[in-house]
Each structure stands twice: as structure tokens, then as C-alpha cells.
């Protein structure tokens, strides 16, 4: 068996096309969906990520503004700027690129963003809405993973899903979204005693710990769906995920590649959340 690939690039293109159509409809009503991105410091990866987010937004007709600040910006100044954007009716989404400089409290910064403009889905109100099934914004990476599962037509009802990782950004919300689709969910982490015993039971595995080869072929049930959220570098410096891709693809039914899998979908779902914020504001 050779697994079929879930092409994140192709699916993201379709989603961006849908966003573009909805954006044009909103603009025809006199509403310009707008995203404000804040970058503090000169982290090279963050610079690349924010540039991609601006380009994606522009491509779909969203207005994206990137504000860059030096690494020595005070936390109080950043919070004041966020509050000003909260009060600006022309801004529908606010994203503060992480990581922040060490003198800033990331939790305090995120909690200062209005939940109505929290298009990253990181605010505690967004997390609470997800857990209780109320309207809110889903974190973009788990949201993108769910869209990938939806794209292959898998019925998650009664399926056993194993999530490797328990971060607030991916692992925990991923588990909640799978629960909403009536999957039986197991969350594994660094203290899990026998990870292989867990993953061999899984119909769906989501690997999201940021560690190379955390999931290998002998840990995967034949035919399972494997979603690789990891972003790492191999010994040659090439981008790779958390999954031993070449080995796992010989066992799994479906697998996401790295690059070209979850990454493009994360950016696509940011556009969806921003558009949704603008549509809610217009209503």
C-alpha cells in the first residue's frame, strides 16, 4: 500500500478562491475586510510568515496591513496599539505574530485582542467557545487539519483519533474539533508511556509536537489517515515534519506531506477567519 497524499497546496487554492468570491460580495456592500498584522522584532521565520500572510490576503481581496516594530518596543506600547485596533471599525482581524520578545507576556498580549477580532483563535474566549460549541474563531492550524480530513470524505463518527501533542495552539483545539465530529479522541504527550500502543489503534493520527520522526511506519495501523503538523529540519537542512514520511506512506491510507500539507492550510484558514469576522461585523 502507498498512501494517497492530501495536497494542502491544492486545497488551500480552492479555499482562497472561495474567500475571494465572498470578499467581493462583501465589498459590493461597501465593506472592505481588513486584517492588521503586528510583527515585533526581526525573527527571520516570522518575517517570512507575515509576508506570506500579507500576500495571501492581497490575492483574495482582503486588505492586510503589516506593522513592524523593533524588538525593544515596550509591552505597554504594544498593548496600547492593540487597543487602538480593537476600537477601529475598519479593522476586522488582528494578528500578533509569535514568538514575541522575551520581555513581553504573550498571554497578556493575546488576551488584549478583542475576541471579535481574534482571527488566530488564541484568546481564552475563543478557546471557551470551541469547548462549549459556541460561535467563535477556531485556531487556524487545527481548522485547516479538519478541512483536510473533510476533503477526503472520511466520516469521523466512531473513529479513534490520536493527537500527539497538547499545545493550546494545536493539540488541545484539534482534540476538541475531532470530538465535535463524534470521533473518540486520545491525546498523547511527553508523559505517555507507550505511544506506539496508542497510535496502532488509531484510524486518524495527528502529529503535532515539533520533533522529527515521532511517528514511524511501525506505529501506524494500515490504512490510517496521518496528518503531519510538524515543521522541522532534517540533517541536510530540508524542511520535514514530525512523521517519517517515506516509511509511513507505505502503511497509511492517506498522509499529508511537509512542505505542502498543513502549512498552506493554516494560512488559508486565517483568511477564512478574517472574512468571517468582517461578515459578522457587517451583520
Please give the positions annotated as active site.
Answer: 53, 97, 120
Return the C-alpha cell found at 246: 517515506
Judge if the upstream peptide bond of residue 259 is cis by omega within 30 degrees of 0.
Answer: yes
Amino acid at each position: 500500500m502507498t498512501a494517497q497524499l492530501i495536497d494542502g497546496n491544492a486545497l488551500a487554492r480552492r479555499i482562497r478562491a472561495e474567500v475571494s468570491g465572498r470578499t467581493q460580495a462583501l465589498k459590493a456592500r461597501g465593506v472592505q475586510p481588513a486584517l492588521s498584522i503586528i510583527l515585533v522584532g526581526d525573527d527571520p521565520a516570522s518575517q517570512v510568515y507575515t509576508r506570506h500572510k500579507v500576500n495571501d490576503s492581497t490575492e483574495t481581496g482582503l486588505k492586510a496591513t503589516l506593522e513592524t516594530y523593533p524588538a525593544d518596543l515596550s509591552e505597554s506600547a504594544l498593548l496600547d496599539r492593540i487597543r487602538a485596533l480593537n476600537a477601529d471599525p475598519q479593522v476586522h482581524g488582528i494578528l500578533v505574530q509569535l514568538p514575541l520578545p522575551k520581555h513581553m507576556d504573550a498571554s497578556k498580549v493575546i488576551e488584549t485582542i478583542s475576541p471579535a477580532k481574534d482571527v488566530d483563535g488564541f484568546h481564552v474566549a475563543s478557546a471557551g467557545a470551541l469547548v462549549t460549541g459556541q460561535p467563535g474563531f477556531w485556531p487556524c492550524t487545527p481548522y485547516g487539519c479538519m478541512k483536510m480530513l473533510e476533503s477526503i470524505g472520511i466520516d469521523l463518527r466512531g473513529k479513534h483519533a490520536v493527537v500527539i501533542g497538547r499545545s493550546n495552539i494545536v493539540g488541545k483545539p484539534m482534540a476538541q474539533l475531532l470530538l465535535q465530529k463524534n470521533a473518540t479522541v486520545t491525546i498523547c504527550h511527553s508523559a505517555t508511556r507507550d505511544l506506539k500502543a496508542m497510535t496502532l489503534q488509531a484510524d486518524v493520527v495527528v502529529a503535532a509536537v515539533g520533533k522529527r520522526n515521532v511517528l514511524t511506519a511501525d506505529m501506524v495501523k494500515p490504512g490510517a489517515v496521518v496528518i503531519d503538523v510538524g515543521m522541522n529540519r532534517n540533517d541536510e537542512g530540508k524542511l520535514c515534519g514530525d512523521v517519517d514520511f517515506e516509511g509511513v506512506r507505505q502503511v497509511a491510507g492517506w498522509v499529508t506531506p511537509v512542505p505542502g500539507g498543513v502549512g498552506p492550510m493554516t494560512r488559508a484558514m486565517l483568511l477564512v477567519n478574517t472574512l468571517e469576522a468582517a461578515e459578522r461585523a457587517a451583520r
